């Protein structure tokens, strides 16, 4: 992982806030949080959420985006359970950690100067990472570590990438308030990140 361009103080603040929020909103999953941190803590601290800086393509971008997404939950408190929305916001992109083994990070540092300079791409997909959509890998980690979730939270996680994807079209005509609110929170957080 490229740690040359990381603001460690900010990344540490984001990571500490992230863990604090996990403990607050998942009181019945403290063992899961402990196991996640024990096994994936360093990766979680450093993982980017995308390839370019304006979409979270920086070390620590995944945690920063999760916290930013959770902050928008209060906008939807009149239509969904705010606690559930924060819970799903915090864990909805865990699948972007990549595979569970060392060397299977989803994103690795872009080594092509052309891609970095012309496209602004600081990270690229890791060919050594087993192929799996990030929502499905998120559910894998949720099950692996033992997070306790309700049915509507699972649906929000599985559809987090959006209803436009083939695997989510089954749900496209359903009224899924929590899933829809999560997608809106993601959009607002991404817009703020791009500014």
Ranges of each domain in the chain: 8-194
Q: 98: helix, coil or strand? A: strand
For residues 194 and 110, which has the higher predicted lDDT (pLDDT)? 110
- Which residues have C-beta within 8 Å of that of residue 168, sequence separation ≥ 6? 158, 159, 161, 162
What distance separates the 2 farthest-apart alpha carbons in the chain? Answer: 48
CA-CA distances (angstroms) from residue 191 to 136, 152, 186? 24, 25, 9
pLDDT of residue 4: 56
Question: Residue 3 above 70 pLDDT?
Answer: no
The tokens 């809106």 sit on which residue? 184
What would the pLDDT profile of 66-88 be if each residue is shown by its tens digit?
999 999 999 999 999 999 999 99
Sequence-distant (6+) residues with CB within 8 A of 39 are none
Element (H or E) spanning 155, and its range? helix 151-158
Q: What are the E-state strand segments in 98-161?
A: 107-109, 123-125
Whole-model pTM? 0.93
CB 137 within 8 A of CB 95: yes
Mean pLDDT in residue range 95-99: 97
Lowest mean pLDDT among 4-13, 15-24, 28-37, 181-190: 4-13
Please tell me the distance from the alpha carbon of residue 155 to that of residue 56, in angstroms, as a whole number: 24
Cα–Cα dist 47/97, whole Å: 6
User: For the segment 122-146, what is each residue's pLDDT rounded down to a tens digit?
Assistant: 999 999 999 999 999 999 999 999 9
Burial class of residue 154 in the structure, from the number of CB atoms within 10 Å of its CB (0-12 exposed, 13-18 middle, 19+ buried):
middle
Q: Which residues neighbour 21 within 8 Å (Cβ) at sequence distance 6 or greater?
A: 67, 70, 86, 90
């Amino acid at each position: 992982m490229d740690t040359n361009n990381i603001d460690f103080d900010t990344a540490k603040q984001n990571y500490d806030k992230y863990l604090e929020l996990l403990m607050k909103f998942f009181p019945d999953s403290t063992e899961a949080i402990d196991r996640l941190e024990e096994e994936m803590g360093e990766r979680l601290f450093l993982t980017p959420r995308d390839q370019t800086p304006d979409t979270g393509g920086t070390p620590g971008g995944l945690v920063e985006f999760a916290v930013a997404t959770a902050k928008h939950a209060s906008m939807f408190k009149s239509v969904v359970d705010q606690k559930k929305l924060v819970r799903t916001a915090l864990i909805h992109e865990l699948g972007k950690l990549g595979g569970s083994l060392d060397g299977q990070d989803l994103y690795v540092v872009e080594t092509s100067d052309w891609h970095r300079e012309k496209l602004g791409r600081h990270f690229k997909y890791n060919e050594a990472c087993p192929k799996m959509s990030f929502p499905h890998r998120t559910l894998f980690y949720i099950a692996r570590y033992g997070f306790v979730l309700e049915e509507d939270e699972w649906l929000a996680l599985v559809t987090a990438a959006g209803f436009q994807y083939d695997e989510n079209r089954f749900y496209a005509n359903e009224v899924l308030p929590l899933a829809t609110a999560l997608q809106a929170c993601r959009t607002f957080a991404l817009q703020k990140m791009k500014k």
